[in-house]
Amino acid sequence: MTAKSIKGRSPEEINAALQQSMADGFKPTLAIVFISVEQDTKAVAEMLHNKGIDVFGATSGGEFSNENQSKGEIVIMLIELERRKYFVSFEDVKGKDLALVSQNMARTALSKFNNPAFIVCSTSLTEQGEFLNGEVLVENIEKVVGPDVTIFGGMAGDDGKFTGTYVFNHEKSTDNGIIALVLDEDKVDLHGMAISGWKPLGIVRTITKSKGRLIYSIDDQPAVDMYLKYLGNENFSEKDKHKIFEAIGVHYPLQVALENGESVMVTPMGIDMDENALMCEKEVKQNSTFHFSVPPDFDIVETILQNASELKSERETEADALLIFSCIGRHSAMGPMTQEENEGLAKIWNVPMAGFYTYGEFGRSPHGKRRMHSTTCSWVALKEK
């Protein structure tokens, strides 16, 4: 595997960067594209396809590559790898059962590789305001392939507008679907992890009424009032509450306890004003217990990088390429520290890197199982065997 990352502010700049990257005889077979919704995704995808390059694309909440961070632009990881070692699967979920679509995608992967690994980007929010359930996606891939399946990736963004997210290949684009890079893990190693760093605060609380993604009450108190009181904004008007929530709420997710002893971050994405309920990016079971949580301290960057260094040493491995999926709330709460994380990871692995700020992440925490996350930095290093 040979990899190079390129960036640009327009399709024209990407074309020039692509030509330059191929000037030394580099012949990429695959392009992993992270692109702003403000850009012409179709033009970029067609350009790559016309060069004989497979396209795996997702819109971003901001994009980055080696020593570069942008918003409203394009970054691409170009990879030269024999096609017998991978394939790209595009699935439009509109009007379909996500669980069945995910299972069928996993069965197709198993029909091609004995040991498939998945790098997955899904949409998060449709143009109609519906969320794709990332947990259902992960659970149903795992149901078919097995509990040890490798899954990394992220949910597409739209520069923080929350009006519609997209995944695409050279032929199709959807605001409700999945694109997966399926790798033969007998031929390509994947090493990575997902770490949050958000810290629990205060006492254990209970979600006393919820339905799907909506939380109505916490400790038998209205959830919206309780949450905004926690943020110190309980005296604002209804209109102001919504503004404050959008500006600050995404920084303060709920750290929900799971039955197996793990915890998972659940981010309230907004307030359903009609229902007077917190609207989360994933379903929350009634009677779940949780802590409110606060953004990490300055030492989180050191923790992320130390974990990466230890994993690299333990597995005695190098890498050919690095992909990073970092929560947009992380970028908002941590500011420049997220760029330190991204560039620090690239230096540890010393390879081309590309990534984007996501609306949800897929990966495995150091002591947990593979799942959909929130507020994490999820990264994966690829190495051809």
Q: What is the pLDDT of residues 161-204, one digit of tens each?
A: 889 999 999 999 999 999 999 999 999 999 999 998 888 988 99
Quote the pLDDT of residue 239.
65
Q: Residue 168's beta-bridge partner residues?
A: 57, 173
Confidence at 32, pLDDT banded by 50, 70, 90: very high
Paired tokens of 177: 């679907």
Residue 267's pLDDT is 85
Selection from 161, 175, 172, 173 nearest residue 132 by Cα: 175
104 vs 76: CA distance, rounded Å: 28
pLDDT digits (tens, 9 = 90+) for 287-324: 999 999 988 888 889 999 999 999 999 988 999 999 99
Cα 48 versus chain centre, distance: 23
Q: What span, in angstroms and rounded, lies between the C-alpha atoms of 190 and 177?
A: 24
Sign of CA dihedral 165, 169, 171, 177: negative
pLDDT at site 258: 85
* DSSP state for residue 170 in the 8-state scheme: S
Segment 202-225, tens digit of pLDDT:
899 999 999 998 999 999 999 988
pLDDT digits 0-9 by tens, 254-290: 999 987 778 888 888 788 888 999 988 888 999 999 9
The dihedral through the CA atoms of 53, 55, 61, 64 has a sign that is negative
Degrees (nearest 5) of the Cα angle 42, 46, 52? 150
Listed range (53-67, 137-151, 188-202) with the worst mean pLDDT: 188-202
Q: pLDDT by residue (tens digit) across 332-344?
A: 888 899 999 999 9
Q: Per-residue pLDDT for 247 more than 90?
A: no
Name the helix (H) or strand (E) containing 179. Answer: strand 177-184
* % pLDDT > 70, the chain: 95
Would you state the pLDDT for residue 66?
92
- pLDDT (tens digit per residue) in 157-169: 999 888 999 999 9
- How far is Cα 164 from Cα 160, in angstroms, rounded to an integer? 10
User: What distance in Å separates the CA atoms of residue 253 and residue 82, rounded to the nearest whole number?
Assistant: 42
Residue type, 354: A
Residue 268 has a pLDDT of 84
The rounded Cα 376 to chain-centroid distance in angstroms is 9
- pLDDT, greater one: 231 or 32: 32
Provide the whole-model pTM. Answer: 0.92
Of 129 and 344, the structure prediction assigns the larger pLDDT to: 344
As a whole number of angstroms, the distance between CA 322 and CA 342 comes to 10
> What pLDDT shows up at residue 242?
60
Look at residue 238 in the predicted model and tell me its pLDDT. 64
First to last CA, the chain: 9
pLDDT in tens, 90-124: 999 999 999 999 999 999 999 999 999 999 999 99
Nearest to 78 by CA among 160, 14, 151: 14
Do 325 and 340 meet the contact criterion of CB atoms below 8 Å apart? Answer: no
Note whether 110 and 146 are within 8 A (CB).
Answer: no
Rounded mean pLDDT, 356-385: 91
Q: 263 and 365 in contact (C-beta within 8 Å)?
A: no
CA-CA distance, 174 to 55, in Å (whole number)?
14
By CB atoms closer than 10 A (0-12, 13-18, 19+), residue 351 is buried
